[in-house]
Structure 1
Amino acid sequence: MIYLDYAATTPMGPEALHVYHEVAGNYYGNANSLHTRGTDAANVLQAALATLGQTIDDASVTITRSGSEANQHVIHRFLSAKHFQGHILTCRTEHPSIRDYLRTLDEQYPKLHVENVPVDERGNIHPIDVETRIKPDTILATFAHVQHEIGTIRDIRAIGTVLARADVPFHSDCVQSYGKIHIPMQDARLSAISTAAHKIHGPKGLGAVFFSTTVEPTHGLPSGTADGPAIAAFAEAADVQMKRRREANTHLRALRAKMAEQLPVEYQVVGESAQEKQSPYILGLCLPEMEGQEAMLACDRQGIAIATGSACRSGDHGPPETLLALGHSFDTARTFVRLSFSHETSFAEIDEAAMQLTNIRSRRTKNA
């Protein structure tokens, strides 16, 4: 199968798998135990946390059980410090783990108010729209760095500058940018970012929050017995991903451009046209007169894996809220599909996928 759903998850890389097996076989002690086996396991964990911290401006790292939990961990920490009272800035195009969680909190706490900043038709958030919505009681702003369905790269430096002037903590969901796109933690005045191991060829079941030096660090590990092999594999995957980031981006920009060029002109690319504002890992498309679900199933029958949006929308059969927020009609939003790539994606796979997507359109038009 040609796998073009790397934004949903990635296979573990060989380097991460090697570290996982090495640690599982040789450092299996409980890191909370005081004997030598436990101490050895604890040292492995601390080395892994140090490696992760070095990937983002030497930030302090807190391990979570997923990227979604990482997002919610940050939000809960900042809001609980204010007793769930105050004003929060976000937008409708955030990941469901943020968008739905904030909606729940907004309903649960009467003194909490969540406000959505508008996005333009390409998914950008303009700093002036953030600035004009800051209030004296704004206690948090949370905006993703890379939009998870269409791949638009937000100008978090400019947004962070505006928020810093008002002394508003700034969190960014960096699940789709960590290890792929440079994250300007200090320049953007970010208080915290979140990510997930399985998006960068690490193990599933692990996320992380990186807190800036301006935020008091918390305990780096979840309660209970830490999964040393998985955390060490996460650190290895992050280190490898950072080292190959520049080469991978060059390869992926060429891949994405080739895919877009080979598709029928009727297919609408959703996202940014400027290369510096668009993640090369993601290509969002609207396919005229064909529901995304239909296109996904048709591709699957041809051995190609694509998505209709975020994998975390499981069970939600409506159109992606992202497309509605961008100004698309309900009917157009239902035609959306997402293709996503990695350094493992080849030009031959792109050629085959483009051909099959074109044939799907041709067959449907012929049978209409």
Structure 2
Amino acid sequence: MSSSGASGSDSCNVSGDATNEESDLSSYPLWKYVVKGDKMSGGGSNYTWQCKFCKQIKSGSYTRVKAHLMGLAKESRQPKRPPLPSQSLSSETSLSPTSYAKKRKSDNPITKAFDIKARNNLDAEIARMFFTGGLPFNLCRNPNYISSYNYAATNNIPGYKPPGCNKMRTTLLIREKENVEKLLEPIKATWREKGVSIVSDGWSDPQRRPLINLMVACEVGPLFLKVVDCSREVKDKDFIASLLNDAIEEVGDDKFVVQILTDNAHNCKAAGELIEGRYPHIFWTPCIVHTLNLALKNICNAKNVSNNEEVYDECHWITEVHGDALFVKNYVMNHSMSCHAKEDETS
């Protein structure tokens, strides 16, 4: 029989073979809650069927029937949005004895003038974005975070929607990169006149990955070139020399480069000699800070050996002071309450 509860455009032949329906009910019991129709062309186990509860005519397999009856349809899988804190509080206090007084207080001219309710709702929306996205609270101190909301508050942009993921990682990222490169052009223009120094420094990030920074220093100011992840590389003289050579080529002309600065490690010194051999007008300069660091490290770790007795007698107190300071530093860094107290004193 044809469905009489649906319109002509939604009607379908939902009559079927009674014998086949009885055999299907034993294996697929949910078929009894729909009126099963004809099998659809194209193979598979797709049928037209009509729900006995909502009278909707749909098509699909037994899995679609199960999803429809159990409320697992796509439109019902959307998570319910919980109310904001301000909305929840307003609904809870609506029946309280003091709700009338609070309502009068919220209806005063000052509250309406500053639109306190809308401000509270916006604060709750921003806070929920932080909580659900796992964003660090320090992001609130970012000046760009503050300026973005200030711009939105002072400019009327009807129907504005924030950029999506694809636009953020493609169009906006490329546009910002082009803007930064344009802002750096005045600095790069001075390289031809005064010359530059290429500075490299190795360090480790919180994931303990060995990284090498490459920067260009000139009279106007430093400029960051790039950072190289050396996790799968052997940091020998040839590898470091290749990084320095790439940095020289990235500057544009090797005639602009006056010197290269690295630390005093043996591989860095050997890499500097390779660069000096390839570019006779470029000379290698060791880092003075690293030199002083190594010197102070040797002084603070004076050893009492036979050929060092005189120096140890004069400088062993430095080793003791260094050990005490290191103990205090480790204690503070390993106790969160001490760190918070120190932050409160310095802020």
Given the two structures, how large is their TM-score scaled by the length of structure 1?
Answer: 0.23
Larger Rg, first or second structure (1 or 2)? 2
More helix by share: 2
